[in-house]
């Protein structure tokens, strides 16, 4: 069941590869993400993170697995983007939490 769902998600993502759940909602954390892209790519290998998600969404999923269902809904069923689901204040909090987790990860 999980492999079937993962394959379906990967297929659907191939069809809409320019879409992103998180888009530009996480500017502070994404600066650090872009600086450490290679390190993060290596970390993704050991986790169940679909390769065809946008890089930003893969990071979000890696750092905050609780977003998996929302990301899947977005990619597979055309669900809402992060910016449509959360207030600006909440997005700033999420960005800061992810930034702190990344800083801890990278030392």
End-to-end CA distance of the chain, in Å?
37
Answer with the residue of higher pLDDT: 68 or 11.
Answer: 68
Encoded tokens for 30? 């994404």
pLDDT at residue 92, rounded to an integer: 96
Say what the pLDDT of residue 51 is: 84
Domain parsing of the chain, residue ranges: 2-106
Closest Cα to residue 62, out of 82, 80, 45? 45
Phi, psi dihedral angles at 79 (to 5 degrees): -65, 180
Smallest CA-to-CA distance from 49 within 75, 26, 16 is with: 75
16 vs 74, residue with greater confidence = 74
> For 88-99, what is each residue's pLDDT tens digit?
999 999 999 999
Q: Quote the pLDDT of residue 68.
A: 94
For 26-65, how does the pLDDT look when each residue is reduced to its tens digit (9 = 90+)? 999 999 999 999 999 888 887 888 888 999 999 999 999 9
65 is written with which tokens? 């697995």
Mean pLDDT rounded to a whole number for the chain: 84
Tell whether the model's pLDDT for residue 17 goes beyond 50.
no
Question: Residue 78: which region, alpha, beta or left (left: phi > 0; alpha: psi -120 to 50)?
Answer: left
- 16, two tokens: 């809409």
């Amino acid at each position: 069941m999980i492999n079937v769902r993962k394959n379906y998600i990967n297929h659907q993502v191939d069809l809409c590869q320019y879409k992103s759940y998180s888009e530009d909602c996480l500017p502070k954390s994404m600066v650090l993400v872009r600086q450490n892209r290679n390190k993060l790519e290596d970390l993704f290998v050991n986790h169940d993170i679909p390769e065809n998600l946008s890089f930003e969404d893969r990071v979000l999923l890696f750092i905050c697995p609780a977003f998996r269902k929302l990301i899947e809904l977005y990619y597979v069923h055309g669900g809402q983007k992060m910016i449509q689901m959360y207030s600006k204040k909440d997005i700033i909090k999420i960005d800061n939490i992810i930034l702190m987790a990344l800083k801890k990860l990278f030392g």
